[in-house]
Structure 1
């Protein structure tokens, strides 16, 4: 479903502007769509195709034009290059994986055997945990284990 009037990147810009103009939070939008918060944000910012009925619902909720609603449904390219690493918050996830990635891999292999945790079939949750030394960000990744089969 290629839409040549509005690109997926342009749709992302329009969605960001519409959310800023609206009284709706990302959590409100996720609730309206009956989808998880992080999936909703990722999808509307271009990381997932939005199913047609949900794209129409978002279009009505955020007053998006028809071309933008179509662009939301397009299959995205998920690799965005090194400039993504320059964002301080995103860079910290790269840093976290650089430090703990090998340990996580070893622990997964020890616990589950030869395989991987799926990033396609996973759930991601983000919560705030109050702490006297400063609030904590809690990220839970619940991924399906996929055993290598030879």
Structure 2
């Protein structure tokens, strides 16, 4: 990249992931340093959310990255992934959540448990209504057994 060519969100993500690995930092530690939640920080670092300028500056500082990354982190993301899109509105919204936060959840799960997945077989899910004066909320709780990948 030249000084005239701005970095893309995918360029910023690659640099962030490399710096995170080189420094041995967890998403939780990075999030604490920038004053945000681990899930949101991870999602933004993976290019699925935009950061405020102050948060972006804090992130590049904690990772010792160049200030040239700040505009990419502040830029509004295009939340696109390659999949067939469901058309039912309720299913689409869940699909959108997984599309936007799926890579984040994978990162956080593997950071906490190791290389593996959450079972969808040994699994429970609850949907609850949470009353809120600003509008009722949907609470989805998923609990799945962690299944480590095996080497042979």
TM-score, normalised relative to structure 2? 0.54
Secondary structure at 2:75's aligned position in 1? coil
- TM-score using structure 1 length: 0.55
Q: Which runs of 5+ in 2 are unaligned?
A: 85-98, 107-115, 148-152
* Corresponding residue of 1:58: 59
Q: Which residue of the partner structure matches residue 21 of structure 1?
A: 22
Name the residue aligned to 1:6. 7
Q: CA deviation at 1:82?
A: 2.1
Q: SS at 2:10's partner residue?
A: helix
Residues in 1 aligned to 2:142 and 2:34: alpha-carbon distance in whole angstroms: 18
1:77-101 residue CA offsets vs partner (Å, 9 max, x unmatched): 112122979x9959x6xxx9xxx7x
Indicate the residue corresponding to 2:49 in structure 1. Answer: 48
Answer yes or no: is the 8 Å Cα contact 1:15–1:62 preserved in 2.
yes
Number of aligned residue pairs: give it: 110
RMSD (Å) for aligned C-alpha atoms: 4.3
- Please identify runs of 4+ aligned residues in structure 1 that moved more than 6 A: 124-128
Which residues in structure 2 correspond to 1:110-149 (within 5 Å)?
none
Q: CA deviation at 1:126?
A: 9.7
In the other structure, the counterpart of 2:113 is: none
